[in-house]
Each structure stands twice: as structure tokens, then as C-alpha cells.
Structure 1
Amino acid sequence: MDSRRKFLRNAALIAGSAAIPNSALQAREKSPEKNFIDGDENSPYKNTYIKNIFVTENEFRGARPVLVPAPTFKQAREILPSPIWKGNQQAIDMYWRAWEIAIGNIKDPAPQSGFTCSYIDTAYNGNIFMWDSTFITLFARYGTRAYPFQQTLNNFYAKQHPDGFISREMWGKTGGDCFHRYDPTSTGPNLIPWSELAYYQQFGDLGRIHKIFPVLCAYYQWLRLNRTWQDGSYWSSGWGTGMDNQPRVQKQYNPIYSNGFMTWLDTCLQQLYIGKILVDFGFYTERWQEIEDIEEETKFLKKYIKEKLWDPKTAFFYDRYADGSLGTLKSIGAYWALWTDILDQEELKRFVAHLSDTKTFARKHPVASIPADHEKYQADGRYWQGGVWAPTNYMIIAGLKNKGFHELAFDIARKHHQQVMEVFKNTGTFFEYYAPESTEPGFLARKEFIGWTGLVPISVMFESIFGITSNLQDQTINWDVRLLEEHGIERYPIGKDGLLSFRCGTRNNIKQKPDLVVESNVPMKLKLTWGGGSNIFEIKPGTNKF
């Protein structure tokens, strides 16, 4: 029996759970949440749930609210990491302004909303968004010592349905879902595990992995049961992908609300990537045997995407229409492939080369969300018809680094950061997205957007311009030095109590070996690379000079 049939069979068994002597499930049936229907106990809909056994372990459902008062920005500033970049005071000012806005966006859950934690608001319309919150916590983790920003994601876990569904957007005032779970726009993208992995790699909170593992597995399995076609590929919608108005579906379908009877490339790629993360979480928690269906599906998706969605002639991935033909749009969503191992090295080079093509993605402000030679491309961005977005740029930059394209990653990061900084210099604030052809906000873009745009002044600067990343599980700091100016970070957090300070002196050229000073209260390993070579050093508690 193949893994997909086995999974569906098990789901059917769970649906008949009265015959399963599972005390956790029986306890859930007796709980006050037994009438939890589609996110609202007063829902007018009949109960059609196929219960997922993992949801019975979800400790966030029905938990008492945990309210953590927000610090003042002045208080937080004394704890937050502090960047150094000689001759670039504008970048430093932009960094601190991003944190000031972020601290100001911390909210307590509305009474009776059912949200369980204080959280950082999406800064869009008063609601909370799965897609936005994932990227917000990817930069906010650097502020964990000042505030527990990661608990923002707990509010999504608290609202998980009995079958594993989690809505992509929830009303801020009531906590209810904004969509019925069977609406094609109701959920996605499935990226929260990416943020949780980054948090775990930096802080090593294994207890959190144990708590979130069943939640994330149940949500993944819901998508598999409810968002796949007969051939096992995934579908979504414009809203479901987070890239609302991209011209992807055929003309007879609505680009925002319809699935277009189409296989959606980015959703397939994300499920492949997230499935592998969950398998890793399974090993960390010694529960990998319980999700062999997910591991098997990652093998299927890798094969399917390469055989059905990759075009070797154009060296690009595309959506697939119902008749088996490929879509025509080169979407930025294809670059989720950088987080997989689908392509061999030569194929990868050709695929990545599109990012340097001045006829398509390489604009004044890179990276455009659709190529400039497409008929729907707009010079002012027009949302996802060419707009430059912090989340997708972060995905591309970090993905390029993962695949060894360090020079291109640095180049895109530097240009992206510079353009955002120029707009900040002119306006004093940040925007939801940016125009690709000019140093301006995108068309009708919301301002004061921290929001995911906090990725640019914080994460992009730390990780891809300064080149400093960490992995607590390997006890390693990676420092890829590319700047010539003096730069560094003070109060960099690692693990439960670790604090490090990094400083690199001024250099005359890229091949000159950097002079580094690293202060630490914990032992770590430093993997240093620069234009002239690489080296590995042992960081000892105290002051280290390399």
C-alpha cells in the first residue's frame, strides 16, 4: 500500500474514532470545546470534522491567556542586539526605528478572542495573518531577550480545528476565522515551521519543539487531505499563496479567489521543504515513526516537481494547468526551490541566472515579483505584479546562501537594503512593499509596516550584509565577511543565556584577512570566510582576537 493510500486509510480510521480506545481523544470530546465548529462554538455549520489524532495533544487549545507587558522602546534598546557599521549611520538609525515600531505593535489579545498570548501585530488591518507572522518572527527572534515575540505563533496554534486546520487570517477583535476552512482562500502558506526551526537553531528550546510538533503535523496533514489533486500535487489560490494578484491562473478563473484547477508550484515546494523540517522535528522529539507518511510524501513531491513542473528549456519551474500543460508566468514563488534539493548543480546555475537577468528579475530594486518582460508587469509594483517584497526577497537571499551563491546573495541583499534605506531617508518610515523601477514605495503600499519589512533593516543586515548566522545545535557561528568597513553586532543572543559581541576591523580589499574581536560568555566555534580564504577558530568565554 503506497504512503498516500495508507495516510487516507488512517484518516478514515480516525474519523471513526469512537472505536479507538484513545483516552486523549475521549477527554477532548468531553471538554468545553466539544462544540468547536469552524473556529466558532456558535457556528451555523454542521460538524463535518474528520478528527486528527495529533490535535488531541495540542496544549494551546483552551489554554489560559499569558499576557506579557510590552517594554518601552527605551527599555528594549538596552537589551536588543546593537549593530555597528562605520560610515553607515543611516542604516543604524533605520535598524533602531524598525524596532521602535515593532515594540509599539505589541498587543494583548482582545477579551473573549480565545487568543492565548500577547503578540506582535501584523500592522495591516487589525487581524493576525499566518503568512505575515511567520516572517515577522523570523526577524523578531533577535529581540527574544527583550520580549517573547515567538509566542505570537501560539495564537494560531490555539485556534487549530479538530481536523488540524488553521486559518491563515483571524479577526483581531473576536479571534474567529476570516474564512470557512473549505474556502480555497482559507489557509496557507505553510511556513510557520520555518520560523520555529530558525528559533530552535538560535535558542535551542527543545521543550517548544515537543509542544508544537503535533500541532504542525496535524496542519500539514490537513493540507494533504484537503489541498491535493488526484495526482497528489497541491493547489491553492492567490490569497492562499500570499501573492494575491499574480497572473497565474488561466483567464477564465479569478486570480485571487480561485484554485483554477491548477497545480500551484510554490505550495508544492513549500510542502516539500516543510515536510523535511517536520521529519527533523520528529527526530528531535523521537517521534519520527509517527510521520512516516510525511517523509514518504517528500520523496513523492521531489520527483513530481522535477518531472511535471520543471522546464529544462527555459530552466524554470511553472504551475501546471488541468490539461497537463505548464503555466507561462515566471513567478518569484518558484525560488522556494532554493530550499530543496530538486536540481543538480548545472540546473541550479541556470535557474539562479534568471535573478541576474536585466530583462526579467534584476531591476533597479531587486527582486521583482514577476519578470519585467511579462505583459502584466507594472513599474510601480502594483502589489504582486512586479512589487518588491521583504518576505520573498528574504527567502531568495537566504536560499541563495544555502546553495552557495554567496556573491549574488550579498549583491541582492545590499541593493535591496540600500533601496529600502533610501525610501526611509526620504519618508522616515517603512512600507508594505516597494516599486521595482524607482526608489519609491509600491503603489498604495501601507506605511509604518513593521510588519515583515522589519526583515530588511534587521535580518538582512545581520545575516546577509554583515554575514553573521548561527546554529546552536552545531555550536557554530558562521561569519562570511564581505564588507570593507568596520562592522559588527553587540549583545547577539544565542541559547538560553549566551551573549556575544562581534567586531570586524576596516579592510583595504576583499582578499585581506579580517581582524576580528569576539567577546562571548559561552564557548562556540567560529567558521570564518572572506574573499581570500577561510578558517575555523574556537571561541572561548572572554575576549577572543582572530
Structure 2
Amino acid sequence: MLHAMKTKDGIGTLANYFSKKSYQDDPLLDYETARNRLPEPICSNRPEYIECYWKAWEIAFRNTYSPTPQSGFVSNFVDAAFNDSIFLWDTVFITMFCNLGHAYIPGIRSLDNFYCKQYDNGEIPREIVRNTGEVFDRWVNWMRKPLHSYFHNHYQYRGLFSADKPSYDDMFKPDLGRVVEEPPYLTLDNLNHPILAWAEMESYRQTGDVERLKQVWEPLYRYYLALQYHLRNQFGLFVTDWASMDNSPRNAYLGSGIDISCEMMLFAGQLTEISDILTARFEAEGQTERVLNLRMIQEVLSKDQKLISQAINDYMWDAESGFYYDVTETGERAPVKTIAAFWALLSGVANPEQAERLVGWLRDPQTFARTHRVPTLAADDEHYQPNGGYWQGAVWAPTNTMVIRGLERYGYHQLAREIAVEHLDRVVQVYQDTGKFWENYAADYISQGDKGKPDFIGWTGIGPILNLLEHAIGLRADAANSELIWNIDPSLGESGCHRYWFGGRTINLRATPQENGTYSVIAESDGPITLKIILNSQSVTKHLTSGEVYTVRL
């Protein structure tokens, strides 16, 4: 059953795809209470890491909210710390460090308030007013015109996505085997960064919560279908207008975005991954019909991935320069190198040779290997701003996270760790210099970006929390298999973590250097897990039982 949407002009109806219909959540914790429950990192040689870690959590807890009655939201949430709206793009990245405190802060549940605002045609808005629960007015297609962009029209970039020059006639050809008959409820500004499934899989890795995947499967799949319907163009690519990169020089050429096209490839792949997990569960439960339905969907998603990947590599890959570019409405590659190209790694679009060439750019000091990696615009671009310039060269936690995860997917683990720890170091140094965390950072200097907001936790919490625990201290969880890998870094001195949480288990870990150059490692878990400890070239694997204290010398 559908119910009327609470908007002044009654645009569309809200869907019933998300099973949670009304507000229900545990009371929010204050920081002082949560402080004694959250993971407590240990790194004796870097006390500044610890100071920033706790300060980031403190600010994050300031930005937690219970919804107002009039909002229609169904869960507590962490706010983006930007303005009076919640943002899908921001919230996805906030969940990634909140996963480490999953039991104590409403990280992944923050996305519930986007699912509950999904339209009957599958669209999910990227910006919702926090107190009222209404979709941000400017990004609503009130006149139900064909797909268009407020941003491009307002800033007079081009007429392609103007409301007065519908784009469907040129971009959505009958020979694609589809005709777009229904205009979207939202403008193109509101239909970018379809990365909800990525957030859910990041959360699943930490929690192992299959019930959560059951709950979000249909909203995610309906959202995917909506974007396939409204955004796929005659090249088999996906259109975007600015994709949250407000003042990037790429905006003058879009077109088809390398980021959103790769994100749709990623989306299809992660829907397949989620359906695999659910299929195994439903088979065990004897739910034959649901298994058959998921397998049919998997076949479609598999075909989609092949088509999207082929289109990206046909139109967006430039073999001469070894880089992926956005594409104009006429199918020409845009002459701007941005960080958006590296979505080709996270999505799996690049083959190994293409990946190696992309990685070469991350090692090039003339483009992306700056003092603080990774700038969002190549430094050899005429629009590049050494002080940041917002999306004209600043370093942002969300795009760095995308690059890091993409490198890990292709096996470049050492480079991924270098970039993550470097980002942590730069964020910590600027915090020591200014007493603030910032929305973004300069790439050519160890300083905040010249157009960034202060106390931004917000996605900037990724550095002092996620990068610290996962990349510096070296803890990587796989909750579905009850496995934890601990890659010990000797440069930290005594290191580890008390109260590390994953998959419903809490683990205490401490590695202490000895006078003879060895390490004494102590591990204790309150439930059965498999722990793999890596130190330099040595590794040991131990199956811990509940309450067992494991001591080993490495």
C-alpha cells in the first residue's frame, strides 16, 4: 500500500518498499556514556592519534539526532554537519566510520531515513530537510518535465539539461529498446551517487547482519531500476550534472559521468553480492520461490554489468593517456582529469593493465601524488588550486576512501595503506595546528582547504577513526566469517585496541615490543572468532573461544 507524500504540491507517492514504517529506535547515547563502550585504540608512539580519535567521536555524537515527529523519519541518525539537510552522499561515508561503533551510534540506521522517503517509482532523494522531512525544494521536478538539472540551468553551464530544452529526445533513443515515458519526480541534481549498496556492504563486513540486508534489498533494487530507467543514455552510460563536485571544471562538459557510470556498475555488482547472501539464507530456510526470483534478477544484473563495463571502456577510457574521462552529450571525452576516474577501480571496470596505468597517476607528483594525496583535480590542470579551491584540487575524505577501497580491490594494499595513513597524519597535523577538523584539505600544503567548513564530523571522521583503526593499527573485520585480521605496525610502539567490536563480538588486543625485538601479543574475545596476526613477514592464525586469553610471541 502506498501513502501520499507530504509535499506542498503532492508530487508522487511514497513507496512501501522499506519495512520499517514508523519511528523506532533505542535512546541516543551521549558521548560521555559512549566513551566507555567504544573501541579504545592503543598506539604508544602516536598519542596525537588517540587525542584526535576521541575528539572526532565527541563531535560525531554532538551531531546525532532523534527525528522530529513531523519529519516522518523512522530512525535516529548522524547528521552531515553541513546545513539543515541530511545528504545521501555525506551519510554514506559517515556510516563507514560509525560501523566501528555500530552498537552505540546510529550509523547505518541513518540511511533508513532515505529509504523511507523513496518514491513509488524507486527514486530516492539525495537531500532531505532535517526537521520537516521534506525533499529539498530546489531539487524537486515540480512541473514533471523531462529529466533536467537545476544546477546546470541556474549556473548557465549548457542547455543540455535545461528544463526548457528536454534532453530525452537526444539522449534516450528508441533503438536502446526502451522509451522513457514517465518523467522523474526529482531533478538530475537529486539523482546522483547511487552508493547505498556500497554502504550496506561496508556495514555488513563489520556486523554480519543478514536481517539488515533482507530489509534493504527491495529498496535498493527498486532504486537501481529507477536510475537505469531515467539516467541511462544512448551510449549505455549514465548522465549526471555535477555529482556533488560543485565547482569542478568537469561540470562544463557533462554529459555522462565516469563516476555515476562506474557507480551503477558497482551498484549492480553489490546487488548481486547481496542477493548471493540472501539466496544462501533463503535456501536454508526452504524459501524456493524467493530463491528463484533472486536468481532471475542475478541474470539481469550480470548482463547489466557487462553492458555498462563495455560502454565505459568504449567511450571513457583513453588508451593513449591511460585514464578515464567524463563524456559530453555528443560522446566526446572531456579534457579534465579528476579523481572521479578512480571509481573504475572500486567498481571493477578496469582490467589489470588499465588499473596499473591508473595507479601510475596516483604515483605521479605532477598530477595526483601531491603533499596530501589525493587531490580531486589533477595538479596539471589549469584550474587546479594549490590551497584546495573546494573541488578544484582539495582533498576530501569520501573520495580518498573510494580510491583506497579501489586500490584494495586490485591488490594494491601497500599503496592503499600509504594513502590512508598519510591522510590520517595530515588531518591530525592540521587538527594540532588549528584545533579543528575540516570539510576538506589542501593538497599542496598541510593545511585545511581554503573553502572548507570547520568541525566537520561529517565524513572527515573517516581519517581519525576508520583510517586509524583499520589502516594504522591494522584491524580488518570479516563478520560474516567471524574473522579478524590484525596487521601490526611496529612503528606505533605498543599498539592494539580494547573493546574492538565486530559481528556481535568484543575483542581486546595488545601488542607490546620486547627488548629482544620480538612482540608479545595478547588477545581475548567474548565469543568464538578466528584471529590472524601479521607482523612483518610472520603470521599466526588462532581460533579463539569465548573468554580465552591467547598469548603469543612474534
Q: How high is the TM-score relative to the length of structure 2?
A: 0.84
1:266-277 superposed matches below 5 A: 266-277=259-270
Name the counterpart of 1:236.
240
Report the Cα offset of residue 429 of structure 1.
Answer: 1.8
Name the counterpart of 1:226.
230
1:351 and 2:358 equivalent? Answer: yes
Q: Secondary structure at the match of 1:102?
A: helix
Residue 523 of structure 2, aligned match among 518, 529, 532: 518
Q: Secondary structure at the match of 2:513?
A: coil
1:58 and 2:18 equivalent? Answer: yes
1:488 and 2:496 equivalent? Answer: yes
Task: Give the AA of the match of 1:270.
Answer: E
Name the counterpart of 1:340.
347
Cα 1:298–1:198 shift into 2, 3 Å = same
d(CA) in 1 for partners of 2:265 and 2:339?
17
CA contact (8 A) 1:58 1:211 kept: yes
d(CA) in 2 for partners of 1:336 and 1:514?
39
d(CA) in 2 for partners of 1:392 and 1:235?
19
What are the superposed Cα offsets for residues 17-43 of structure 1, whole Å, 9 maximum, x if unpaired? xxxxxxxxxxx15xxx1x33xxx3542
CA contact (8 A) 1:430 1:450 kept: yes
CA contact (8 A) 2:265 2:349 kept: no
1:467 and 2:467 equivalent? Answer: no
What are the superposed Cα offsets for residues 155-198 of structure 1, whole Å, 9 maximum, x if unpaired? 00110011111110011121111121341201221111111112
d(CA) in 2 for partners of 1:494 and 1:436?
34
Q: Secondary structure at the match of 2:250?
A: coil
Report the Cα offset of residue 289 of structure 1.
Answer: 2.7
Report the Cα offset of residue 290 of structure 1.
Answer: 5.0
d(CA) in 1 for partners of 2:515 and 2:404?
26
Q: Which moved more, 1:181-190 or 1:386-395?
A: 181-190
What are the superposed Cα offsets for residues 338-382 of structure 1, whole Å, 9 maximum, x if unpaired? 223333333322210111111011111111111111000001111
Residue 246 of structure 1, aligned match among 230, 245, 248: 248
Task: Give the AA of the match of 2:295.
Answer: Q
Q: Secondary structure at the match of 2:188?
A: coil
What are the superposed Cα offsets for residues 435-492 of structure 1, whole Å, 9 maximum, x if unpaired? 1111211113111110000000010111111221111222221223334222111101
1:544 and 2:550 equivalent? Answer: yes
d(CA) in 1 for partners of 2:514 and 2:417?
17
Gaps of 5+ in 1: 1-27, 252-259
1:377-456 superposed matches below 5 A: 377-456=384-463
Name the counterpart of 1:43.
9
What are the superposed Cα offsets for residues 307-358 of structure 1, whole Å, 9 maximum, x if unpaired? 2211122111111223322112121111112223333333322210111111
d(CA) in 2 for partners of 1:531 and 1:338?
27
d(CA) in 1 for partners of 2:236 and 2:367?
31
d(CA) in 2 for partners of 1:506 and 1:329?
49
Q: Which moved more, 1:192-201 or 1:367-376?
A: 192-201
Q: Secondary structure at the match of 2:531?
A: strand
1:117 and 2:56 equivalent? Answer: no
Residue 107 of structure 1, aligned match among 46, 61, 65: 65
d(CA) in 1 for partners of 2:335 and 2:511?
46
d(CA) in 2 for partners of 1:350 and 1:514?
39
**Paired residue total:** 490
1:188-337 superposed matches below 5 A: 188-238=192-242, 241-250=243-252, 260=254, 262-286=255-279, 287=290, 288-291=294-297, 292-337=299-344
Task: Give the AA of the match of 2:258.
Answer: L
Cα 1:528–1:423 shift into 2, 3 Å = same
Task: Give the AA of the match of 1:522.
Answer: G
d(CA) in 2 for partners of 1:534 and 1:42?
61
CA contact (8 A) 2:258 2:343 kept: no
**RMSD over aligned Cα, in angstroms?**
2.1
Q: Secondary structure at the match of 1:436?
A: coil
Report the Cα offset of residue 56 of structure 1.
Answer: 4.1
Identity %, equivalent residues: 32
CA contact (8 A) 1:169 1:187 kept: no
d(CA) in 2 for partners of 1:119 and 1:204?
21
Task: Give the AA of the match of 1:269.
Answer: C
Task: Give the AA of the match of 1:244.
Answer: D
Task: Give the AA of the match of 1:220.
Answer: Y
Q: Secondary structure at the match of 2:265?
A: helix
Name the counterpart of 1:257.
none
Cα 1:92–1:453 shift into 2, 3 Å = same
Report the Cα offset of residue 534 of structure 1.
Answer: 4.0
Name the counterpart of 1:146.
104
d(CA) in 2 for partners of 1:312 and 1:507?
52
CA contact (8 A) 1:466 1:483 kept: no
Q: Secondary structure at the match of 1:112?
A: helix
Report the Cα offset of residue 514 of structure 1.
Answer: 5.2
Q: Secondary structure at the match of 1:347?
A: helix
Task: Give the AA of the match of 1:218.
Answer: R
d(CA) in 1 for partners of 2:420 and 2:513?
20
Q: How high is the TM-score relative to the length of structure 1?
A: 0.85
d(CA) in 2 for partners of 1:483 and 1:401?
22
Gaps of 5+ in 2: 141-184, 280-289
Cα 1:428–1:67 shift into 2, 3 Å = same
Name the counterpart of 1:501.
508
Cα 1:160–1:265 shift into 2, 3 Å = same
Report the Cα offset of residue 402 of structure 1.
Answer: 2.8
Cα 1:160–1:508 shift into 2, 3 Å = farther
CA contact (8 A) 1:136 1:451 kept: yes
